[in-house]
Amino acid sequence: MNRFLLLHGWQNTRPREHWQHWLADRLRAQGHQVTYPQLPEPFRPRPAAWTRAIAEIVAQPGRWTVICHSLACVAWLHLAAEPMRPVERLVFVAPPSMSFLAGTPELRDFIAPREVFDRLAGTSVHRPRLVCSDEDPYCRPPAPSSYPNVFDVNLIKGGGHLDLAAGLHEWPELLRWCHHPHRTITCRLPVPSAR
């Protein structure tokens, strides 16, 4: 059984306009089982609470594809510190850098020790994928430099944090990847209007 788990980031209360909501709706309409939970206290998150909630979901039977956005990526790193049954596929979208977490008091507990990165690849059957922007304000330097070389990387030019602020509401290229995971994940962002 193929199942999809979508995990949101910091301060995200799953607004209808977010691409994750759009993706969940499209996958469900196509007959897939989709879990898109509200993680505990998104404005005051705690790693233990987030990892506990995520672990309970992925412990359920099925071949899970997990798509993490932003802070959920770092929560997954904490989950990697404990023994777990690997999910089928894992995607990190726009993860924050450890330096950003260090400079944000309410997120400092999410800083992941370096040794956890070594266990990341073992949390999915297939090689994890990193989808990121070259100008993410929450990840400097860009994620390919900040995260270890265990990912297949898809770099999106000018994509910001790949969120609502970047103008990303629908993501058909990511939906296509869900059905054809050998494809590169691209993104067409709206052209900024002239002022």
What does the domain layout of the chain look like in residue ranges? 2-179
Could you tell me the two tokens for 95?
A: 């993860």
Q: Give the homologous superfamily in CATH for domain 2-179.
A: Alpha/Beta hydrolase fold, catalytic domain (3.40.50.1820)
Q: Are 98 and 112 in contact (CB under 8 A)?
A: yes
**What confidence score (pLDDT) does residue 1 get?**
63
Rounded-to-integer distance, Cα 63 and Cα 88, Å: 5
pLDDT in tens, the chain (195 residues): 689 999 999 999 998 999 999 999 999 999 999 999 999 999 999 999 999 999 999 999 999 999 999 999 999 999 998 889 999 999 999 999 999 999 999 999 999 988 888 899 899 999 999 999 999 999 998 898 888 788 999 999 999 999 999 999 999 999 999 999 999 999 988 754 333
Q: What is the DSSP string of 84-124?
A: -PPBSEEEEESPPPHHHHHTSGGGGGGPPPHHHHTTGGGGB
pTM, two decimals, is 0.94
Q: Are 109 and 72 in contact (CB under 8 A)?
A: no
**What confidence score (pLDDT) does residue 70 get?**
97
**What confidence score (pLDDT) does residue 148 get?**
79
Rounded-to-integer distance, Cα 127 and Cα 88, Å: 9
Question: Which residues partner with 93 through β-bridges?
Answer: 69, 131
**What confidence score (pLDDT) does residue 118 get?**
85
